[in-house]
Amino acid sequence: MKIYETLSPLTLGSGSPRRDELLSSVGLKFKISPATCEEPSAEPGQLPEDYAIEMALMKARNVAKSCPGTLVIGADTIVARDLDILGKPRDRNNAVEMIKSLCGRSHKVITGCALISKNGDEISYAVTTDVEFINCDIAAIRAYVATGEPDDKAGAYAIQGQGAFLVKGICGSYTNVVGLPLARIMESLISLKAVCPISTE
């Protein structure tokens, strides 16, 4: 059963199945139009939160050009080890090294969010979740990487998949680590009067 009613045409500017599933889980209706722009690397010294917001805005603006008359949702999720931004692994050896560098310590998962209204008004922010990894055996890391799951994931793991075994604990939004801070996004959509709760009366 749906929880929210969609009041305004929505476009998700992402091809991520996980973001699709999260928005669909509360009953929203939307179309999907992935951004087609290239993602530049962060500038030297750029804060991870600022970079995530910049990428989300870039994607949302790219999609908004081809989707007039809809409210566009853009997002970009990154993993930050201290101030180092970890993107998707170059190859499986790089994935092993990434995961190894995160083991036995905490890191941040940051999702930059950007919403562009039909009128061109923009809202943007970053949501951060702290994630702590177990101190994992290298053989288990290699076995996980061999599954292929980390290949296209920022930080080389998926908390909603087999990578969950690495996670000792989190502080903050779980869905943010999956790829979209659903509670914060819903607050934004409600404030923009783009959605409302389903009436059960």
**CA nearest 12: which of 36, 25, 35, 31?**
31
89-147 pLDDT tens trace: 999 999 999 999 999 999 999 999 999 999 999 999 999 999 999 999 999 999 999 99
Name all domains of the chain by residue range, CATH numbers in brackets.
4-197 (3.90.950.10)
Q: Which of 20, 50, 76, 137 is catalytic?
A: 76
Amino acid at residue number 74: G
Amino acid at residue number 53: I
Quick one: pLDDT at residue 200? 78
165-192 pLDDT tens trace: 999 999 999 999 999 999 999 999 999 9
For residue 129 the two structure tokens come to: 């979740």
The least confident of 21-30, 41-50, 57-66 is: 41-50
Helix (H) or strand (E) holding 55, with range, is helix 48-66
Could you give the CA distance from residue 23 to residue 180 in angstroms, rounded to a whole number?
A: 9
Could you give the CA distance from residue 28 to residue 156 in angstroms, rounded to a whole number?
A: 29
130 labelled catalytic: no
Its sign, for the CA torsion 52, 54, 55, 60, is positive
Residue 201 has pLDDT above 80, yes or no: no
